[in-house]
Chain A
Amino acid sequence: MVSARADVSTALSLCDMSKRFGTTQALDGASLDVRRGTLHALLGENGAGKTTLMRLAFGMDTPDTGTILVNGKTCAWRTSADALRAGIGMVHQHFLLVPAMSVAENIGLGRGGVFSGFDPTCTAAVVRDLVAATGLAIDPEARVGDLPVGAQQRLEILKALSHDAQVLILDEPTAVLSPQETQDLYAWLRRFVDSGRTVVLITHKVREALQIADDVTVLRRGRTVMQVAAHATGEAEVLTALLGETTTHGAPHARAPRRTTGKTVLAVNGVTVRDDRGTERLKCVTTHVCGGEILGVAGVEGAGQLELLRVMAGRRIPDTGSATRPARVGFVPEDRHRDAVIGEWTLIENFALKDAGRATGTMVWDDYRVRAELGVRAQDVRATSAHDRMDALSGGNQQKFVLARELEGAPEAFVVENPTRGLDVRATEQVLDALRAARDAGVAVVIYSSDLDELFSVSDRIVVCYDGTVHEVPFDRQAVGRAMVGLS
């Protein structure tokens, strides 16, 4: 079946795509038409099938049914190399880079014939040309593993462009970026589109999508439920399509007056932290949090905020200085899959994981089961039972589970890193509500988020990390934004 709209002006068209993984029907006849020279936002909740659809478009998976048309011609990809050759590039949410190799080598990967020479200096020159042409600054000789996240993302885009991509697919590109980086990226994408090429942007952020996109497509449960020009719709309409119901999302929360307990719960005094190579990531930092307040920490990637949070959570021993912490500190790390849960374990075992370091004697599994079940109920985790495997849960439910675990037993302090990263609208709200509830119960909460809007919507007080130092700033967007880039 070929979509009626799939003509020559359509850069990429996906018709009636279906894909099943095991018992999960990830896509169920979804369609997408992207006009050439437009920025097309692909919206949907977690698990709606956005990423799957784009992986099919990029040849990383083969569809069970459906047709892919590029410039009106039917295509069938065997591997993503075919898609690349046809001018489709993709920037993945989880970067697909080789950390041990240089920028130039990463760009050179998969290019050229079997035995054609690859000259790093030559590719470095190519990269410099690309950098000059695109304005995406990056050092071709740097080792990728040493680069900050923003630079890695620029590299991913450069990689796609180095194949002369006419259609660029980006999967949640702003999730890891600071506000400034996000603005830069959007501006760049706009210029890219204006030069006659095409962008597909996968995102959760409805407002942003409506601001910068030309067209919007919404997926729900593997089907296309809305395909419309951005100017022809509104936030409420999109949200209804997205969630399948009306919602009050987006209404600003009434800011309650600050009501801290006045008692300092968490404090760091003159703390310095060095990384493996001896570089100071935190430079003699002093700050504190009181019970009953949410301290928001802002900062661009690598400014020292993660080290600060880890010292506060007791996950990192400072090289000099001291930290005063209560006995119980809940901690939600940024990288959930790596640092918070074990995918092949049950929820009960994952619940017990928090005690792994200090447990002695035998494990009372019945007790852990009861506690896990209580936690699951408390945070509305959607699981059939506490005996489920962790990786059977969606990302949002996994995150809610981690919150439940870390909030259990009334911790006096709660430290969270980017808690809503990668979550959909509904799950994000639930997570933030949980933080507010904890604050209201008198817990000292510390949150770092790369999303400034989110930070302002939950925090009572905001500090900014800049180059390893911490600054108290007024509760003001402009002040925070300036402090993040080192302007006082």
Chain B
Amino acid sequence: MTTRAATTSTLFSWKRLLPPLLVSAVVVGVIVVVIVAGHHDIIESFSAFGRGSFGSAYAFWSATLVRATPLTLLGLAVALAFRSGVMNIGAEGQFLAGASAATAVVLTGVGGGMVLVIALPAAVLAGALWAAIAGWLKREFGVLEVISSLMLNFVAQYLVSYLVRGPLQEPTHVYPQTETFGPAAQLPLLISGQRLHLGYAIAVLLALILWWMFRATAVGFRLRAVGAGAAAAASAGQVMVPRVLFTAFLLSGAIAGLAGGVEVTGVTYALYEGISPGFGYTAIAVALLARLNPLAIIGTGIFFGALEAGAAAMQRDAGVPFQFVAVVEALVVLGVIALDWTRERGATRR
């Protein structure tokens, strides 16, 4: 028995290494082909990618992690929803709602030096309320949340566009943006000389909290039960499933709203139209690649942050166009899906 186990495990490592290598080779191969076809320097492109993502302390702390912050928070929002059986793909809209609310609070000037203590909870509340629309539509009318939350993303986008030209516009009423926040409304930086702000610490802390919540608390267990088997939870556990689903919507929206609040108070210091390049959609990939595990989302958040930071460096230093970067991101995601598949197949074959 032991000998057999030993031989299989040695065979195994080969078998286990081969598919990832193949998939990586294919992804890298396609990328190389496209770079060459576009007459860009391959070595320069790849080294720019490395420099821009992990190549220096600045690249890591100020580029990769700053980008990872909203992706991590939104990834957690998506993961919480998905694990609870709620297909909330409206994190984008909830993010915008949170960003708008935080901005509105900051601009009223309440709270003085403690304005963040009001602004961030306002963002949380706004995100939860925006999600509650989809949650309410599901509970009352059985509307598929995939669709309603997607629709609400577009509504939120136009709402922000209106706000920055209307009620929240900067005082001269010229530019479609708000006034820049004062220092009291700016999240403290974590490392001097770097742009990394408190928001990332909040994200990591929240990941730990969610991990603990799902693992150890009754609320987390209830959410998990409804996500894994709503009928069993209702029958065996006498769980009020509609109420739990609604709660999941609220919590997910709250986290996404927080992400919006963190982005305006930690990075942009003002509300703009187009403040999100689709963070909410990328976050779906962040969450799913982490298999909805909050701790793993810290990792996938960094991965996607690095991908975007590295890709920006490829644009800057190697002249590889923006559109190509989208191709690279798509290929990497597809590559990871393929890897996942080889791993799953390996698992069932055993």
Contact = CB atoms under 8 A, between A and B. Distances in A.
- Tell whether any CB of A sits under 8 Å from a CB of B in the complex: yes
Interface of B: 216-218, 221-222, 225, 228-229, 231-240, 348, 350
Given A359-B221, A362-B217, A331 B236 contact: yes
Given A340-B235, A357-B240, 14 more contacts: A315-B234, A335-B231, A343-B229, A349-B221, A352-B221, A353-B232, A353-B237, A357-B239, A358-B238, A361-B217, A362-B216, A362-B218, A363-B217, A363-B218
Nearest to B235: A339
A342 interface: yes
A349 B224 CA distance: 10
B235 A315 contact: yes
Contacts of B222: 356-357, 359
B225 A333 contact: no
Q: Give the contact-size bracket for chain A.
A: 20 to 34
A402 B237 CA distance: 12
Nearest to B228: A342
B231 A338 contact: yes
Contacts of A341: 229, 232, 236
Most buried by A among B229, B231, B240, B348: B229
Given A361-B217, A363-B216, A338 B237 contact: no
A-B CB proximity, top 3 nearest:
A356-B237, A359-B218, A357-B238
Contacts of A362: 216-218
Contacts of B350: 22-23
Contacts of B234: 315, 339
Nearest to B225: A356
Contacts of A331: 235-236
State the main secondary structure of chain A at its contact with B: loop
A345 B214 CA distance: 13
A314 B238 contact: yes
B348 A22 contact: yes
Most buried by B among A333, A361, A362: A362
A365 B218 CA distance: 11
A334 B17 CA distance: 45
8 contacts: A314-B238, A315-B235, A356-B225, A357-B238, A358-B238, A362-B216, A363-B216, A405-B236
A166 to B, nearest CB: 36
Nearest to B218: A359
Contacts of A315: 234-235, 238
A354 interface: yes
A356 B216 CA distance: 12
Interface of A: 22-23, 314-315, 331, 333, 335, 338-345, 349, 352-363, 365, 402, 405
Contacts of B239: 356-357
Contact of B229 (A23, A333, A338): A338
Contacts of A353: 225, 232-233, 236-237
A305 to B, nearest CB: 16
Contacts of A354: 236-237
Given A356-B233, A357-B238, A345 B218 contact: no
Most buried by A among B222, B225, B235, B239: B235
B144 to A, nearest CB: 16
Given A22-B350, A315-B235, A357-B237, A342 B225 contact: yes
A354 to B, nearest CB: 6
A318 B236 CA distance: 18
Most buried by B among A335, A338, A353: A353
B217 A355 contact: no
A342 B238 contact: no
Contacts of B348: 22
Contacts of B233: 353, 356-357
Given A357-B238, A358-B238, A339 B232 contact: yes
A333 B235 contact: yes
A361 B218 contact: yes
A338 B229 CA distance: 7
A357 B219 CA distance: 9
Contacts of B231: 335, 338-339
B197 to A, nearest CB: 31
Nearest to B223: A356
Contacts of B240: 357
Contacts of A361: 217-218
Contacts of B228: 342, 344-345
Nearest to B347: A22
Contacts of B217: 361-363
A226 to B, nearest CB: 32
B221 A363 contact: yes
A403 to B, nearest CB: 12
A356 B229 contact: no
A377 B234 CA distance: 26
A360 B217 CA distance: 7
A22 B346 CA distance: 11
Nearest to A360: B218
Contacts of B221: 349, 352, 356, 359, 363
A363 B225 CA distance: 13
Most buried by A among B217, B221, B229, B236: B236
A333 B234 CA distance: 11
Contacts of A356: 218, 221-222, 225, 233, 236-239
A402 B235 CA distance: 12
Contacts of A340: 232, 235-236
Contacts of A405: 236
Nearest to B350: A22
Contacts of A22: 348, 350
Contacts of A344: 228
B151 to A, nearest CB: 25
A71 B232 CA distance: 46
B137 to A, nearest CB: 19
Contacts of A360: 218
Nearest to A343: B229
A342 B229 CA distance: 6
B343 to A, nearest CB: 15
A314 B233 CA distance: 14
A355 B217 CA distance: 12
A461 B228 CA distance: 38
Nearest to B222: A356
Nearest to B233: A356
Nearest to B221: A363
A365 B216 CA distance: 8
Contacts of A352: 221
B300 to A, nearest CB: 22
Nearest to A341: B232
Nearest to A356: B237
B114 to A, nearest CB: 31
B43 to A, nearest CB: 46
Most buried by A among B216, B218, B232, B235: B232
A363 to B, nearest CB: 5
A460 to B, nearest CB: 26
Contacts of A355: 218, 237
B201 to A, nearest CB: 24
A339 B234 CA distance: 8
A349 B215 CA distance: 10
A295 B239 CA distance: 27
Most buried by B among A356, A359, A360: A356
